[in-house]
Chain A
């Protein structure tokens, strides 16, 4: 019998890596880096886009079909101290080496506890996530020019309360003491994972298969086996009372670029990126095939109830080797982790000697 090879403690590392939690938001939003605006990244991208014309499907749409991978070590936000948006080759080599070293799970220099966490090692990870983007950028964010998520706004007392509840649940999880399945994060519950837009690289399974048929583009994210079916016929969005975990997407082509826009997200806290407010959260994604084996994936998100202004990131997608395939990612069917997490917590309640000495490290 096959099963997910994850113990609860090890899973904490994975969860922390892929859960867009308010906890992460608090960290990232609090430390805007002092860096000079450098719009070079966008200019470089635009130049490449013009150089190549994608082939068309028989019905005339730009052809995006294939299996693509978005893994990279380039961080979403520019690290503090990195002034440049784009590095020269020498700087880029250094940056890449540093990131690869930081991200590697095959290191043995962290002491016992970190070592145990890293037992979920490189064997399970996507090796492509240890390489920086080919265009040598220091952040995936291209706007604002400082490469950082804009400062957050004061959130309503109601949402503060929700966020506090979620943070408390996250703290219980980190301490190995979750109360109930429904307080675990959506990825751990196998409800949504990397299929929730925006698509950002994670530790593994960074694949997306694009299918096209007349009138549709369909994106199949590896996690979790959902099909994002995008009508191109200009039909209106679903009615305002019909909400979905993954929202409702409509698209059209602007030249060679697929532009899609998604609304109708469910109101559950945590459904949309970094705990933004689902009702006011807006996301536009653009897919431009810039080479036979490359798509530029760019997204802009905005939410006046979360960030002071919209922000945009560009993540390069690379076509995977045809010898590789995207296989079914099942999750809920063998979700041993929830049982282990909860039964572990109940065992700790009975025997405090089993308690973790300190919360699980995220990496």
Chain B
């Protein structure tokens, strides 16, 4: 009886130990909900003019706009006024490996950004952009932030050498120039996007971004050396896998990667609506200059 039990338990126990040992380091890395193309059966997107057709209204459902890395639920600003209206949900990191590989001195700047994220001072042209999260000021979000803001965006792909990405937030747009040689002529808020196809994947190389954009409300940032390479891969009729490799030798010790799925919005007659937030920022930005102030 005893031997019989052991006969069963021993191999089982061995298998469990092997499995635990085998999975432990993997579990540490894979606990994060990174999207896996393998979660979907093999998919070939319909064609438009010989290329995968990415047209549609898409939206990310991650909370990375609050913080790219792991973050707990927070009250958000002024809970005494906003109560639960202003709350920010918790979320898991979308960064591969969990954390952004900042250089030590750069990490200090990120922390300073968080401390200053709700401050603004536009009284001096030179220090105009020193304080405050650009999102709060209704500035164009830049790439990749535009992709994971909690707003839909539309991909407009035709037969010209341009693909348009139109974002609901701040009515920002960017044009992706396909198979384009010319380098960014100057820095802009949404950057200079050049695309090409690798199989079914739209690969977009983004340079020339203004250094003032942030990645999130947690003050994650970059310098004028930012280089982003994005990959949009159709995974089903309703999903695009999004991946962005972020490189900036001034701020990070190595390139790092984020990834998450984009979901197709399928509501009947859905359209992008206006989110012109400029008027909501005017008192905050310019209130100190109005008549009756000192």
- B125 near A3 with CB under 8 A, answer yes
Say whether A97 faces chain B, with CB atoms less than 8 Å apart.
no
Complex CA distance for A179 and B276, rounded to whole angstroms: 23
CB distance from A167 to the nearest CB of B (A): 18
CB distance from A117 to the nearest CB of B (A): 22
- A57 near B159 with CB under 8 A, answer yes
Could you say which residues of chain A place their CB within 8 Å of the CB of B236? Answer: none
Q: C-beta contact mask, B226-262 vs A, less than 8 Å → 1, else 0? A: 0000000000000000000000000000000000000
Interface residues of B in 158-194 (CB under 8 A from A): 158-160, 162, 164, 166, 171-175, 182, 185-190
Show 14 A/B contacts (Cβ-Cβ < 8 Å), sorted by A.
A57-B159, A65-B160, A191-B279, A211-B160, A218-B156, A224-B171, A325-B182, A328-B189, A333-B139, A336-B128, A338-B286, A339-B286, A346-B289, A346-B291
Interface residues of A in 319-363 (CB under 8 A from B): 325-328, 330, 332-334, 336, 338-339, 342-343, 345-346, 349
- A179 near B278 with CB under 8 A, answer no
- B282 near A330 with CB under 8 A, answer no
Q: Shortest 8 CB-CB distances between A and B: which pairs?
A: A342-B289, A227-B166, A328-B188, A179-B291, A180-B290, A65-B160, A181-B286, A226-B171
Could you say which residues of chain B place their CB within 8 Å of the CB of A212? Answer: 156, 158-160
CB distance from A289 to the nearest CB of B (A): 14
- A245 near B140 with CB under 8 A, answer no
CB distance from A135 to the nearest CB of B (A): 27
CB distance from B173 to the nearest CB of A (A): 5
Total number of B residues with any Cβ neighbor in A under 8 Å: 54
Given contacts A189-B279, A211-B162, A345-B289, 6 further A-B contacts (CB under 8 A): A58-B48, A182-B279, A182-B282, A327-B185, A330-B188, A332-B138
- B189 near A211 with CB under 8 A, answer no
Q: A2-B187, A330-B140 are in contact. Are A227 and B278 (CB under 8 A)?
A: no
Chain B residues packing against A (C-beta within 8 Å): 48-49, 55, 122-123, 125-126, 128-129, 134, 137-140, 154, 156-160, 162, 164, 166, 171-175, 182, 185-190, 210, 212, 269, 271-274, 276, 278-279, 281-283, 285-286, 289-291, 293
Complex CA distance for A186 and B267, rounded to whole angstroms: 33
CB distance from A61 to the nearest CB of B (A): 9
- B48 near A191 with CB under 8 A, answer no
Q: A181-B290, A328-B188 are in contact. Are A211 and B156 (CB under 8 A)?
A: yes
Say whether A155 faces chain B, with CB atoms less than 8 Å apart.
no
Q: Which residue of A lies closest to B158 (CB)?
A: A212
- A332 near B286 with CB under 8 A, answer no
CB distance from A329 to the nearest CB of B (A): 9
Q: C-beta contact mask, A95-135 vs B, less than 8 Å → 1, else 0? A: 00000000000000000000000000000000000000000
CB distance from B291 to the nearest CB of A (A): 4
Could you say which residues of chain B place their CB within 8 Å of the CB of A236? Answer: 269
- B188 near A245 with CB under 8 A, answer no
CB distance from B169 to the nearest CB of A (A): 12
CB distance from A251 to the nearest CB of B (A): 13
Interface residue SS majority, chain B: loop
- B186 near A213 with CB under 8 A, answer no
Complex CA distance for A189 and B49, rounded to whole angstroms: 41
Could you say which residues of chain B place their CB within 8 Å of the CB of A339? Answer: 122-123, 125, 286, 289
Could you say which residues of chain A place their CB within 8 Å of the CB of B274? Answer: 244-246
- A191 near B139 with CB under 8 A, answer no
Q: A218-B164, A236-B269 are in contact. Are A1 and B126 (CB under 8 A)?
A: yes
Chain B CB within 10 Å, residue with most, of A63, A216, A333, A334: A333
Chain A CB within 10 Å, residue with most, of B272, B278, B281: B278
- A214 near B159 with CB under 8 A, answer no
Q: Which residue of A lies closest to B286 (CB)?
A: A181
Chain B CB within 10 Å, residue with most, of A181, A216, A229, A245: A181
Could you say which residues of chain A place their CB within 8 Å of the CB of B279? Answer: 182, 189, 191
- B190 near A229 with CB under 8 A, answer no
- A211 near B273 with CB under 8 A, answer no
- A65 near B158 with CB under 8 A, answer yes
Q: A227-B173, A229-B156 are in contact. Are A334 and B290 (CB under 8 A)?
A: no
Complex CA distance for A220 and B156, rounded to whole angstroms: 11
- A343 near B289 with CB under 8 A, answer yes
Q: Which residue of B lies closest to A65 (CB)?
A: B160
Could you say which residues of chain A place their CB within 8 Å of the CB of B173? Answer: 220, 225-227
- A66 near B55 with CB under 8 A, answer no
- B140 near A333 with CB under 8 A, answer yes
Could you say which residues of chain A place their CB within 8 Å of the CB of B128? Answer: 334, 336
Complex CA distance for A1 and B127, rounded to whole angstroms: 10
Could you say which residues of chain B place their CB within 8 Å of the CB of A144? Answer: none
The residue that B154 contacts in the complex, of A214, A229, A245, A342, with Cβ under 8 A, is: A229
CB distance from B183 to the nearest CB of A (A): 12
Say whether A138 faces chain B, with CB atoms less than 8 Å apart.
no
Complex CA distance for A242 and B126, rounded to whole angstroms: 40
Could you say which residues of chain A place their CB within 8 Å of the CB of B158? Answer: 57, 65, 211-213
The residue that B159 contacts in the complex, of A58, A209, A244, with Cβ under 8 A, is: A58
- B55 near A345 with CB under 8 A, answer no
Could you say which residues of chain A place their CB within 8 Å of the CB of B157? Answer: 213
- B290 near A227 with CB under 8 A, answer no
Chain B CB within 10 Å, residue with most, of A225, A327, A346: A225
Chain B CB within 10 Å, residue with most, of A3, A211, A229: A211
CB distance from B190 to the nearest CB of A (A): 6
Say whether A310 faces chain B, with CB atoms less than 8 Å apart.
no
The residue that B156 contacts in the complex, of A216, A224, A225, A244, with Cβ under 8 A, is: A216
Complex CA distance for A231 and B293, rounded to whole angstroms: 47
- A244 near B291 with CB under 8 A, answer no
- B55 near A214 with CB under 8 A, answer yes
